[in-house]
Structure 1
Amino acid sequence: MLEDTISIPPATIIDECGVSILNTQFCEYLRVDQQMESWIFATLSRDVFVEVHDLSTSVKIWNRLQTRFMHASMDRSMELKGRLTRIKKSDSQSVDGYLCEIKVIADSLAIIQCPISNQDLVQHKLFGLNLDSKYDHIVTILLHYPFPLSFDDLCPKLLLHEQRMKSSKDGFESSSQHALVVVQSSGSSPKPNSGGRNRGRNNKNRGGNNNRNQNNRGNGGGNGG
C-alpha cells in the first residue's frame, strides 16, 4: 500500500449500459488509504505532522517522511562519526568509561543503519589513547598485532593493562613491561616452535641407547671369554 508501484483505481467506471458509475475498487482504496494515514499520523510528533498533514495520500506522506528522516539520519551519522574521530581518553577517565563511550557511539550508528567496520572501530579506540603516555607501548603492540583484533578482543587487554598499572608502584616507568605481559597473558600470542626441544630429547635418547648397546656388547664379550 505504501509503494509507488501500486496504481490508484479510477474513481468511476462505465457499466454495461454505458453509464458512469462509482468504482467500488476505488472506494476500497480510499478506505484503506485513510486508515493508513490515521496510523501514520498517530505516530508523528506535532512538528512532523505539520509538514505532512496536507498531502493527499498515504504514499505521499510516507515518501515525504522517508526523505525527511533520511536526511536526518545522514546528519546524525556525520555527527556521530565526527565524535568517534575526535574521541580521546582523558587522564581522569577510566578505561571502562572510555570504552563504554565508544560503544554507545558505535551502537547509535548501527541503529540508523550506518554501522562502522570493526577495523575502524579498533583504530579509533587505540588512537584515542594516544594522549595518555601510559598506553603508548600497548597501543603500539596492538596496532602491529600479527592478526586482526576485534573490539571485544581489545577490551579485556586494555582493562588488564589498566589494572596492572594501578597495582604497580612505578607504573609509568614499567608500562612497556606491563604491555608485553598483558598481550602474552591474553592467550593470543603464537606458540614458539618446540622442534628444538624435541630434537634435544631425541639426541639424548639416542645417546643413552648407544651407551646401553656398548655395555651389552662388552658384557657379551666377557661371557664368551
Structure 2
Amino acid sequence: MDQIDSIILQWIYATVSDEILGRILQDESTAHQAWNRLQDIFLNNKGPRVAALETEFSNIRLQNFPNIEAYHQRIRDVRNQLADVRIYMSDERMVIQFVNGLPIEYNATGSYINQAMPTWERVCNMLDSDHRRKVARDQSSPGIAAAVDTPPTYPNQNTNRRFNSRGS
C-alpha cells in the first residue's frame, strides 16, 4: 500500500506548478494529505475565483472569437472551471448566455432559441448551421445578392390595371 501511495504522491507533485509544489511539499506526507493541501489551496480562493469566472461568463461575446466553435468552447470551458470550484451551471443558463452573446445578425435564431429552449448541443448545432449559411451568403457574388433582392420586371407590366367582370 505504501508503494501505491508513493506513486500517487509523485504523480501529484509532478503535475502541479513549481509555485504550488512549494506549498504542498512536506516530508513524510501521504498522497491523501498532499491532495487535501492542494484542495485547500484551490478552494481557499473560491469566492474571488467564482466572481471572476461569473463576470467572464456574463461577458462572453461571439465577436471576441475567431469563429463560432471557439465561442462554444469558451462557454464550455468557463462552465467546467466553475464546476471545478463546485458551482454548477444548468444547460438553460448556458443557452441563455450563448444567445445573449450573439451579434444582431443572429436575432432570428436567438429569438427562436429563447422560445424553444433546446438542449445545449442542439443550440450549438443550430448556430453552427446558421453561421455556415451566413458565411456562404456573404461569400456569394454581390451581383447575385442584388439580383435576389430585386423583384423581376416584365415589359408592358402595368401594376395598376384592374380587371372588370367581363375580363377586359
- State the TM-score bracket (shorter-chain normalisation): 0.5 to 0.7
1:133 aligns with 2:104: yes
With a CA cutoff of 8 Å and minimum separation of 6, indicate the structure with the bigger relative contact order: 2
Deviations 1:95-154 (A, max 9, x none): 22221222222233334443321111111111000xx22111211121112xx4111010
Deviation for aligned residue 1:47: 3.7
Specify the alignment match of 2:72 in structure 1.
99
CA distance 1:55–1:64, change in 2 (3 Å):
farther
Distance 2:127 2:11 in 1: 48
Matched, 1:166 2:126: no
Give the letter for the 1:141 counterpart.
Y
1:69 corresponds to which residue?
42
Letter in 1 for 2:115: H
Counterparts of 2:19 and 2:64, CA distance in 1: 42
SS of match in other structure, 2:62: coil
Rg (Cα) greater in structure: 1
Which of 106, 118, 125 matches 1:156? 125
Measure, in 1, the Cα distance between the counterparts of 2:52 and 2:72.
Answer: 19
Alignment CA distance shift 1:42-1:109 (3 Å): closer
**Residues 41 and 80 of structure 1: CA distance in aligned 2, closer, same or farther (over 3 Å):** same
Stretch moving more, 154-163 or 61-70: 61-70
Q: Distance in 1 between matches of 2:98 and 2:66?
A: 14
CA contact (8 A) 2:75 2:98 kept: yes
**TM-score calculated relative to the size of structure 2:** 0.59
Partner of 2:113: 142
Aligned counterparts, 1:107-118, within 5 A: 107-118=80-91
Classify 1:64/1:139 alpha carbon distance in 2 versus 1 (closer, same or farther; 3 Å).
same
Greater shift in the superposed pair: 103-112 or 52-61: 52-61
Question: RMSD of the TM alignment (CA)?
Answer: 3.6
Q: Runs of 5+ in structure 2 lacking a partner?
A: 138-144, 150-168
TM-score (norm 1): 0.46
Structure 2 letter corresponding to 1:159: D
Helix, strand or coil: the match of 2:63? coil
* Cα distance in 2 between the residues matched to 1:142 and 1:75: 32
Partner of 2:52: 79
The residue type equivalent to 2:69 in the other structure is D
Q: Which runs of 5+ in 1 are unaligned?
A: 1-31, 174-225
